[in-house]
Structure formats: C-alpha cells, structure tokens
C-alpha cells in the first residue's frame, strides 16, 4: 500500500491539494492519504490531522504572530513521522511552514516531493538552496519554473496548472473561458457587473475591503445602475459587511469561488493571487491590485521582488496585459489607490471593444499552463506515484 502525507497551509493550496488527492485515488484507490490542510483536503483524505488553512497568513508580520502555534504543530508532526511510515511527503506551496515540514521529513528518512513551487522566481531565489537539502523533486505549475530548479541541480517537472482543468470541466467544454460570457458590446449601466475580489487570507480581506468599497463607490458615480458583486470566502464570514449594508452600496455578496458568476462579469477588481489566474482562465478582464501593510514593508518588498509584475497574467505574457497597481497602505495612499482603481475600471467599461480584446488575449494565455500528453492533475499524480514506485523497485 502507498501511504502519502500532504500538507497545504492556505485556501488556494487546500483546493489544489484536494484535486491532487482525488486524482491519486483514481489512479491508485488503495493509496492512504494523511493530510494537513483545510476543508477541501478534509473531505478527501483518509486521516485528517488539523485545519491549517484557516490559520493561513501572508507577508512578514502576520506569520510572526503564528510562530508558536506553527512550532507546536510541527512538533506534533515530528511524532507522527516517527510513529508512521510514508512513501512520500508532499508539501503544497506555503513555504514558511512547509519547508520546515520537509526538513523534518527528510531527517526522518522520507522522500519529499514539493508540489506547487514556492515563487522563487519572484523573490528570495536563495530558497532554492534550502530546498536542495530537503526536497527530492519539485512539481511545477508554471512552464518557466522547472528550468530554474534544474539549473540548481534540483530535479523538477512541469506538470501544468490544475485550475485550468477544473475550470474547463466546470464549463463542460474543451477550452477555458468560452462559455456563458457576458456581452461586452452593450455598455449600458444595467448590463455592467463588476466583481470585487479582496483576496483569500484574513489579513488581505481586512485591509483591502475599505479600498475596494471606496473604488466601487467611485465607479457607481459613473455607472449608477451597475451591479457590484463581492466574492466572499466561506471560512471567514465574520470579515464581511452584512448583506443589508452592502445592498445600500449596490453590492451583492456571493460565496466564492463562484466561477459561473465570475465568468459573466464585465470587469473584476482583483487582489493579486490565485483569483487573478482564475480570472485569466475564465477570460475575465480585470485590474489587479495589492496593498502592503505596514507601509514601511513596501520599500523592502520592492527591493527583493525580482519580477516587474505582481499578477500572473502579466508574468506569463511578459508585459502588462492587464493594469496592475501595488502601494504602501496609509490613509492617503489608500484613497489615491481607490481613485486610480476606479479610473482604470471606468476607462475600460467605457470601451467595450477593449474589454472584448482583453478577454480574448487572456484566454489565449491559458494554453501555456497545459503540459503535453496529460491533464495537469493526472500529470502530477502520475509523477508522484511513479516516484514512489521507482523507490520501491530500487529497494527490492
């Protein structure tokens, strides 16, 4: 029997890890899956240890507050590793916690296959050196990542991004972003639907919502009858205003990810992260944004980030295909950010032809996320199971 340990520490990783587990179970039903993660992994694993995803944090300050609980959890995992044998340990993204998990696994004698590469291409390339000491293979979602690892003598394989597959299946068609889209040729207020996506982590949601609502109210001044849709995360319901309060601002709330609803948006104001990639696949024109708090961190972040863009659509395109903006969060800067978000959004909404062109260009980028010969989930599951089988063969 194959026994695997999977760890995902945020909502996005929880989704991707659960898709991987489902595919592993299809290829090898008898495989036993132990997991740290969130509600998605809890629903598909055989042994679920703890909801790590609901504690997810981001940046430099938030994780410090969580360190005691993380170290306590790692100590518990160390005991589990000593008492049980695993064919492979599979960290999924969430580098700060998972690299320590990988080091514990390696010291215990387990092989480590890292799924969803940390974004070493964006910043802190030195992370690859630490991974080299405790990771046996990296499974990459983006085509440019594998070469970075291979150049550092770390075995890596491009397996494609499972979100493409998932969204394609949801549409019931062979190409992402081609079904059920709204007509961009009608610029009337009544037809305009603007998505508001503040992020998935509690810290992101809390700091982005005021700016997002400010931007939306400015958009309403230009398009009084337009509809705003706030996409909410089910695991953080307390962070959002009431439906009644949102209705006063012309906003309705929907629980995410709500792909069918988002596909019909004319435009989305999207926090940088998985949502921007999902919108690209869905063919949703967008403005990408990200606020950094405390403000002093912004200059530090700008120094270490190695890419000229914050949004994956622009990184894949190699140019600013969609408008993006990042800023140090202060009251004055937040007000200016809301103003610029609204200006960019209104400029696009007034030119339906630009929206249609942007939608088509975004959908074309989707094909770069697919590997040859296999579906992304299948490619990742096959790579893990083949890795485990090769180890068993070598041990005979």
Residues 77 and 207 in one domain: no
351 and 382 belong to one structural domain? no
SS (H, E, C) the chain: CCEEEEEECCHHHHHHHHHHHHHHHHHCCCCEEEEEECHHHHCCCCEEEEECHHHCCCCCCHHHHHHHHHHHHHHHHHHHHHHCCCCEEEEECCHHHHHHHHHHHHHHCCCEEEECCCCCCCECCCHHHHHHCCCCEEEECCCCHHHHHHCCCCCEEECCCHHHHHHHHHHCCCCCCCCCCCCCCCCCHHHCEEEEECCCCHHHHHHHHHHHHHHHHHHHHHCCCCEEEEEECCCCHHHCCCHHHHHCCCEEEEECCCHHHHHCCCEEEEECCHHHHHHHHHCCCEEEEEEECCCCHHHHHHHHECCCCCCHHHHHHCCCCCCEEEEECCHHHHHHHHHHHHHHHHHHHCCHHHHHHHHHHHHHHHHHHCCCCCCHHHHHHHHHHHHHHHHHHHHC
pLDDT value of position 284: 96
Q: Is-contact 191 197, C-beta < 8 A?
A: no
List, for residues 48-66, the tens digit of each pLDDT value: 999 987 665 554 445 555 6
Q: For CA atoms 70, 159, 15, 48, give the dihedral sign.
A: negative
Characterize 330-352 residue by residue with b for buried, 16 or more Cβ atoms within 10 angstroms of its Cβ, and e for exposed.
eeebbeebbebbbbbbbebbeeb
Is 103 inside a domain boundary?
Answer: yes
More confident residue, 183 or 139: 139
**367 versus 174: which is more confidently predicted?**
367
Claim to verify: residue 88 and residue 141 sit in the same structural domain: yes
Please state, rounded to an integer, the average pLDDT across all residues of the chain.
Answer: 89
Predicted pLDDT at 65: 58
Q: How many domains does the chain have?
A: 2
The confidence score (pLDDT) of residue 279 equals: 96
Residue pLDDT, tens place only, 308-344: 898 999 999 999 999 999 999 999 999 999 999 999 9
Same domain, 359 and 241: yes
Same domain? 355 vs 385: no
Nearest 10 degrees: Cα torsion 7, 35, 137, 161: -80
> Domain of 252?
189-368
User: Does 184 reside within a domain?
Assistant: no
- Considering the domain architecture, whether residues 148 and 260 belong to the same structural domain is answered as no
What pLDDT, on a 0 to 100 scale, did the predictor assign at position 180?
42
CATH of the domain at 14: 3.40.50.2000
Lowest mean pLDDT among 53-67, 129-143, 187-201: 53-67
Residues 203, 124 share a domain: no
Same domain, 215 and 359: yes
Residues 65 and 144 in one domain: yes
**Residue given tokens 């989305």 in the structure block:** 268
12 and 120 co-located in one domain: yes
Over residues 108-117, the mean pLDDT reads 96
Confidence of residue 195 (pLDDT cuts 50, 70, 90): very high
C-alpha separations of 214 from 199, 211, 269, 272, 353 in Å = 16, 5, 12, 18, 27
């Amino acid at each position: 029997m194959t026994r695997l340990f999977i760890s995902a520490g945020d909502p996005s990783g929880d989704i991707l890890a659960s898709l991987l587990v489902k595919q592993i179970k299809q290829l090898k039903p008898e495989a036993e899956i132990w997991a740290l993660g969130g509600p998605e992994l809890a629903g598909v694993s055989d042994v679920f240890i703890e909801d790590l995803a609901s504690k997810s944090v981001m940046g430099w300050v938030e994780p410090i507050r969580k360190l005691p609980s993380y170290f306590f959890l790692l100590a518990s995992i160390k005991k589990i590793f000593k008492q049980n044998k695993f064919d492979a340990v599979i960290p999924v993204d969430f580098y700060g916690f998972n690299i320590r998990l990988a080091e514990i696994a390696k010291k215990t004698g387990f092989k480590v296959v890292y799924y969803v590469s940390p974004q070493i291409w964006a910043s802190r390339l030195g992370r690859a050196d630490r991974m080299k000491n405790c990771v046996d293979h990296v499974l990459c979602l983006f085509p440019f990542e594998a070469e970075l690892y291979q150049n550092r003598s770390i075995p890596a394989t491009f397996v494609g991004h499972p979100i493409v597959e998932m969204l394609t299946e949801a549409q019931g068609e062979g190409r992402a972003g081609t079904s059920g889209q709204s007509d961009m040729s009608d610029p009337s207020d009544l037809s305009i639907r603007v998505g508001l996506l503040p992020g998935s982590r509690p810290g992101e949601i809390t700091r982005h919502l005021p700016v997002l609502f400010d931007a939306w109210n400015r958009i309403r001044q230009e398009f009084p009858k337009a509809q705003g849709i706030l996409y909410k995360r089910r695991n953080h319901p307390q962070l959002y205003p009431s439906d009644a309060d949102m209705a006063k601002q012309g906003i309705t709330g929907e629980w995410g990810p709500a792909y069918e609803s988002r596909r019909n948006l004319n435009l989305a104001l999207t926090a940088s992260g998985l949502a921007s990639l999902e919108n690209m696949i869905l063919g949703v024109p967008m403005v990408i944004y990200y606020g950094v708090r405390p403000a002093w961190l912004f200059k530090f972040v700008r120094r270490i980030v190695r890419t000229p863009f914050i949004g994956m659509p622009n990184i894949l395109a190699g140019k600013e295909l969609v408008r993006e903006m990042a800023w140090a969060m202060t009251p004055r800067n937040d007000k200016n950010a809301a103003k610029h978000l609204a200006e960019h959004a209104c400029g696009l909404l007034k030119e339906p032809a630009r929206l249609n062109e942007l939608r088509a260009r975004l959908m074309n980028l989707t094909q770069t996320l697919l590997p040859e010969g296999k579906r992304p989930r299948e490619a990742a599951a096959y790579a893990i199971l083949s890795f485990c089988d090769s180890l068993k063969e070598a041990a005979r």
